[in-house]
Amino acid sequence: MKARLLVIDDTPSNIHVLLEGLKEHYSIVAATRGERGLELARSQPPDLILLDVVMPDLDGYEVLTALREDVRTAHIPVMFVTAQSEPKDEERGLALGAVDYITKPFRISVVRARIQNHLELKGHRDRLEQMVQEQVRETIDSHITTIFAMSKLAESRDDETGTHLERTRQYCRLLATRLRATGSYPDLVDEDFVDRIFQASPLHDIGKVAIPDGILKKPGKLTTEEFEIMKTHTLRGAETLASVTHNHPRNEFLQFGLQIARSHHEKWDGSGYPDRLRGVQIPLSARIMAVADVYDALTSKRCYKDAMTHQEAREIIRTQSGFHFEPLLVETFLAIEDQFAAILEGYRGME
């Protein structure tokens, strides 16, 4: 397949010369105005752009600046082909990010050779970036696999049925899906948010791997000192995820996991831990996790307590609106409580 070139030049005769000399080797589209050239570059990004400097609406420098500021076009190599032959003009063009600067009159064979060189360089760069991204994905996947293994280890030490992570991630997805459907937090809750909270919620108790069994599995009430140690699982989990996030700061899955691990025991009224955050200071992901986690804890059997019914857990969550939980999330929970009950009964049927 031929590489695609975009020629932006306000002089039709210049376009004709380039078209005749290059059409055998490349697929070419042309624009005689800067604004039209930008439209073509954004709608169907070419492999390389040949750009004049002097044009009536936007000059070549302004076009190049706009190309570099747009994520859709910032990667496209731009070669100036122009009659402006002063050194200062060439210096300005290269400083703005052009890969080459050819002055008129030119030999078409030289233009063709330089185009080919820059396309080959672009190909090498694209392949290198792809290799880097693949390596980053593999590294992240490796970290995530390790993190999930640690989450399952934490669960196996604290959950008699071994299904807490699966239930809570489904409860989180129910709440997030309902928020999206009702238009709540439209700037935050989209399809990606729903997917991320489903994937990241199992990381909420990862810090429990650092809590001694004598505290984690104690059949009675914890002492004040023991409870202080138990509370550190939020910080330990956040520290674990932060160490991975440091190397991958743009990974939203890890960012979600860190927020949830640290803040899922915060309370709407500011009485939670570890940071005593209040209201919307608490990340939305952690506020959702709080409802899911408490509901699951209430309806699960432990060595020191029997499982509550859905109705009993429902009443506790309802009465904690504005105290432990965000009122909007309690309303959301109550609107879809039948779906919570269905998930609960489904897992009880498996036990």
Q: List, for residues 216-232, the tens digit of each pLDDT value.
A: 888 888 899 999 999 99
Contacts of 202 (CB under 8 A, 6+ apart): 148, 151, 165, 168, 169
In this prediction, residue 129 has a pLDDT band, given cuts at 50, 70 and 90, of confident
Q: Give residue 161's pLDDT band: very low, low, confident or very high (50, 70, 90).
A: very low
Residue range 280-309: mean pLDDT, rounded: 93
- Residue 35, pLDDT above cutoff 90: yes
pLDDT surpasses 70 at 162: no
Predicted pLDDT at 139: 63
The pLDDT confidence band at residue 251, using thresholds 50, 70 and 90, is confident
Query: Domains of the chain (ranges plus CATH)?
Result: 3-106 (3.40.50.2300), 135-348 (1.10.3210.10)
Q: What is the pLDDT of residue 158?
A: 61
**pLDDT given at position 69:** 92
Q: What is the mean pLDDT of residues 286-294?
A: 98
pLDDT of residue 227: 93
Q: Is the pLDDT of residue 140 over 80?
A: no
Mean pLDDT along residues 320-346: 97
